[in-house]
Structure 1
Amino acid sequence: MRVLFLMLIAFKAFSLQVIPLTLGHSETSSQLDLSSPIGVPAKSKATFGKVDAKKVDTTVFHNALFVIGADRLSKQWLAQHQKQLQDMQAIGFITNVDDFEAIIQLQEQCQLPLLPVNVDPLMQLIGVSHYPIVIAEGEIWQ
């Protein structure tokens, strides 16, 4: 049942294909291309690593987001930041993951939504190449 639920979430997100973004300082709109499949396996050029906190125009994002991998260090980071992410009602993107079982296990552990996706377009947009990160309230941080 859990696998079916996760597949429905992934299908709904995949059917979007693009996420419309409204740029803060003008009437112009942009789009974050999600033409890469949302589902497993979800592969990305992004890797686990250190990211310095920086300011970013988050008016283009309607929700707090976080990005993790399926690696042990990302799982530890998620456990440490679980409460804060829940309080923000953050939506998680998980990348470099091979199967739904790993995602289901993490979702049960952290009680946060996780979508398997190639995060390369997002990472390029914000100028970051490593995870885990949080994008919220005008900042990118670990």
Structure 2
Amino acid sequence: MTYPHLPPEIAELRERTRRFIREVVVDEEPVPSGRLDPATRDRLQAAAKDAGVFAPLVPKEYGGQGLPIEHWSPILQEAGYSPIGSAALNCVAPDELVDRELAKTLSPRVQRMLGFHSQYPTGSPGLWQVDYADLGDCLGL
């Protein structure tokens, strides 16, 4: 997809993101049904910082790229080229699946507050996801 009306700095960020995902991230993808291990994620995030594509949605004063919301789509589409692209760039949406091992490290109270629940039967190596209905119930909304 082309974006002829992108400001030059956003078009340049899109191109940097495109190259980074295709030249760095794709080679680090786990095998099908595999997991992205924390060491690889950390290595990819460090490389994303070096490439100037880390945390595109985060304001610059907090270490991100400060991308305005109206330009999120072209950048996130490039990140989505790889199933681990959003993790490498640190722009995973809160409603995306969350690694079960990570969710298990949270206290039960925090799990309830964030609305995590298992997507698969207990004991399976499945993923967890956010359920905002659980969060609303917990907060009495």
TM-score for the superposition, normalised by structure 1? 0.28
Greater Rg over alpha carbons, structure: 2
TM-score for the superposition, normalised by structure 2? 0.28
Q: Which has the higher helix share?
A: 2
Which of 1 and 2 has higher RCO (CA within 8 Å, sep 6+)? Answer: 1
